[in-house]
């Protein structure tokens, strides 16, 4: 087993190596306590630190701890754990490959096999979509579909397509940005297939470890209140209405009522609502404040009765309903939709709109 595989256990070559070595997972969890221990550590660190920790000194243990960690994550099967774990694996890999790729020749270790940029891109089917700019070191152009696949909704304003000099279907990125894109690809790779279905024998063997992970999770305060304002997670109907408001389009009364009542229900004040609406220049602030106040006055002070889906539908305000509307909330109430999305989301990645336009870029982005 190669050190390279232990460093990057999600590579297809690493997976093959595990397969060729004929490792049997149930035997592994029963007999290799070092791999199990390190697997547990990967997951615990993922939850508490956001990385998977320092590698075990033995290559074999380090490599085999990866499938163990995946099994553990699957056994606990909490959405938030899954996301955090995948993110931590990606962050750790990113730290390692960015260091390797940027090290100057003299510091490069010759002992171990290294990952070069081409291999890394090829591993994630990126080679055909990332084009080095001739004559400009560290400058690339990424095909727009690939760019969006890995960046949409991830980071701050600078990453949004609308702020990029897109031309001929390609988005220019620099070296650092390219590596962040790869990090995102790693994360998807790790997430892929999770949760695994785990045979009972293995599950029983890992009872203690599973319990431990649950404890660690429980110690974190992961509960989210509905009064967090993340417009990206609004139900489609409300996103649509908000969008119209922000574009300065005229809304009929029932629509204005729906959006204002919804925003009130998630804990926004009149001032905040007015501010959220005010994206469009030429928007009449006073008129809106008056309207919003008025709408709030129409509802009882304790309970701002945002309309249910049935009401939204009869007014034609149910626009663009999606799978969550149909299959999860059964077209009950837009607030249920929002609550569901908040629960699904990884707390760390949610930025309350009221916390301003601060840099959303991950602190670990280096």
Partner 1 sequence: MEERTRAYLRGRFGDYYRRAEITPPPDANEREWGYIPWTSGPGTTMVRHKSLLDLGDIEGFLERERPRHVYFSAGRYDDPSAGSMSEKHWRTSDLVFDLDADHLPSVTLGEDSYAEMLAKCKDALLRLLDFLEDDFGFEEMTIAFSGGRGYHVHVRDPGIQELEREARREVVDYVRGMGMEFDAVIDEEAVGGEVGRKSPAHNEYLPTDGGWGRRIHERLLAEFEQIKSLDEDAAVERLQEYDGVGEKKARAAWNIAQDRFVEIERGNLSAHPVVKNFAERIAASVVEEDDAPIDEPVTTDTNRLIRLPGTLHGGSGLAVRRIDRDAVDDFDPLVDAVPDTFVGHEIAVEVTDGGLIELLGDSFTLSEGEHTVPEHVGVFLMARGRAEKGPE
Residues that bind ligand SF4 (CB under 6 A): 235-237, 309, 312, 318, 321, 325, 331, 334, 337
Taking CB within 5 to 8 Å according to partner kind, which of ligand SF4, partner 1, none is near residue 164? Answer: partner 1
Taking CB within 5 to 8 Å according to partner kind, which of partner 1, ligand SF4, none is near residue 334? Answer: ligand SF4
Strand partners, 132: 140
Taking CB within 5 to 8 Å according to partner kind, which of partner 1, ligand SF4, none is near residue 53? Answer: none
Question: Residue 206's closest CA among 86, 68, 9, 65?
Answer: 68
Question: Residue 178's closest CA among 149, 140, 127?
Answer: 140
Give the residue with the Cβ less far from partner 1, 153 or 356: 153
Taking CB within 5 to 8 Å according to partner kind, which of partner 1, ligand SF4, none is near residue 331? Answer: ligand SF4
The DSSP code sequence of 313-345 is HHTT---S--HIIIIISTT--HHHHHHHHHHHS
**At its nearest, how many Å lie between ligand SF4 and the CB of residue 233?**
12
Taking CB within 5 to 8 Å according to partner kind, which of partner 1, ligand SF4, none is near residue 167? Answer: partner 1
Give the residue with the Cβ less far from ligand SF4, 17 or 309: 309
165 is in an annotated binding site: no
- Non-local (6+) Cβ contacts of 25 within 8 A are 67, 71, 202
**The one among 192, 286, 327, 363 contacting partner 1 by CB under 8 A:** 327
Taking CB within 5 to 8 Å according to partner kind, which of ligand SF4, partner 1, none is near residue 338? Answer: none
Are 335 and 238 contacting, i.e. CB atoms less than 8 angstroms apart? no
Please list every residue from 239 through 278 that binds partner 1, using CB under 8 A: 240, 243, 246-249
Are 5 and 14 contacting, i.e. CB atoms less than 8 angstroms apart? yes
Of 183-191, 269-277, 299-307, 319-327, which part binds partner 1 (CB under 8 A)? 319-327
Integer Rg of the chain from CA = 24
325 is in an annotated binding site: yes
Question: Residue 306's closest CA among 233, 241, 224?
Answer: 241
Strand partners, 297: none
148 lies in the site for partner 1, by CB under 8 A: yes
Give the residue with the Cβ less far from partner 1, 146 or 270: 146
How far is CA 45 from each of CA 84, 85, 276, rounded to the nearest angstrom? Answer: 10, 9, 37
**At its nearest, how many Å lie between ligand SF4 and the CB of residue 275?**
23
237 is in an annotated binding site: yes
Taking CB within 5 to 8 Å according to partner kind, which of ligand SF4, partner 1, none is near residue 163? Answer: partner 1
Are 31 and 61 contacting, i.e. CB atoms less than 8 angstroms apart? no
Q: State how far Cα 104 lies from the chain centre.
A: 32
Burial of 250 (0-12, 13-18, 19+ CB in 10 A): exposed
Round to whole Å and give the CA distance between 65 and 71: 10
Tokens of 204: 């029983």
Three-state SS for 113? coil
Place of tokens 């004929």: 22
Q: Helix 253-265 and helix 285-298: axis angle, to 10°?
A: 80
Query: How many residues would you count in the chain?
Result: 366
Taking CB within 5 to 8 Å according to partner kind, which of partner 1, ligand SF4, none is near residue 157? Answer: partner 1
309 is in an annotated binding site: yes
**At its nearest, how many Å lie between partner 1 and the CB of residue 192?**
14
**At its nearest, how many Å lie between ligand SF4 and the CB of residue 336?**
8
**Phi, psi at residue 174, to the nearest 5°?**
-100, 180
Give the residue with the Cβ less far from ligand SF4, 120 or 318: 318
- Per-residue binder mask for partner 1 (CB under 8 A), 155-194, x = binder: -xxx-xxxxxxxxxxx-x----------------------
Strand partners, 170: 143, 167
Give the residue with the Cβ less far from ligand SF4, 32 or 331: 331
The binding site comprises 237, 309, 318, 325
Please state the residue numbers annotated as binding site for [4Fe-4S] cluster. Answer: 237, 309, 318, 325
Residues near partner 1 (CB under 8 A): 129, 143-146, 148-149, 152-153, 156-158, 160-170, 172, 236, 240, 243, 246-249, 281, 319-320, 322-323, 326-327
């Amino acid at each position: 087993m190669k050190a390279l595989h232990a460093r990057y256990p999600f590579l297809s070559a690493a997976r093959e190596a595990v397969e060729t070595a004929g490792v049997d997972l149930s035997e592994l969890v029963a007999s290799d306590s070092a791999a199990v221990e390190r697997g547990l550590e990967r997951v615990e660190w993922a939850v508490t630190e956001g990385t998977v920790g320092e590698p075990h000194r033995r290559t074999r243990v380090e490599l085999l701890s990866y499938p163990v960690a995946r099994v553990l994550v699957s056994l606990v099967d909490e959405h938030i754990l899954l996301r955090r774990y995948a993110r931590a694996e990606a962050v750790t890999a990113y730290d390692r490959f960015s260091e390797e790729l940027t090290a100057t020749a003299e510091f490069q270790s010759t002992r171990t096999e290294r990952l070069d940029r081409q291999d890394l891109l090829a591993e994630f089917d990126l080679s055909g979509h990332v084009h080095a700019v001739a004559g400009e070191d560290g400058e690339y152009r990424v095909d727009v579909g690939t760019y969006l696949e890995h960046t949409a909704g991830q980071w701050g304003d600078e990453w949004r397509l609308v702020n990029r000099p897109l031309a001929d279907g390609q988005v220019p990125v620099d070296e650092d940005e390219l590596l962040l894109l790869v990090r995102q690809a790693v994360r998807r790779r790790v997430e892929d297939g999770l949760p695994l279905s785990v045979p009972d024998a293995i599950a029983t063997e890992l009872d203690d470890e599973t319990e431990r992970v649950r404890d660690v999770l429980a110690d974190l305060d992961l509960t989210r209140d509905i009064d967090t304002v993340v417009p990206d997670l609004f139900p489609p109907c409300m996103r649509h209405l908000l969008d119209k408001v922000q574009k300065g389009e005229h809304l009929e009364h029932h629509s204005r009522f729906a959006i204002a009542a919804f925003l009130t229900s998630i804990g926004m004040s009149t001032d905040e609502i007015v501010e959220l609406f005010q994206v469009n220049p030429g928007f009449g602030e006073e008129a809106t404040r008056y309207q919003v106040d008025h709408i709030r006055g129409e509802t009882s002070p304790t309970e701002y009765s945002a309309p249910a889906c049935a009401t939204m539908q009869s007014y034609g305000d149910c626009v663009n309903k999606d799978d969550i509307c149909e299959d999860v909330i059964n077209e009950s109430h837009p607030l249920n939709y929002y609550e569901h999305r908040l629960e699904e989301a990884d707390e760390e990645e949610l930025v309350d709109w009221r916390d301003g336009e601060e840099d959303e870029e991950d602190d670990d982005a280096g």
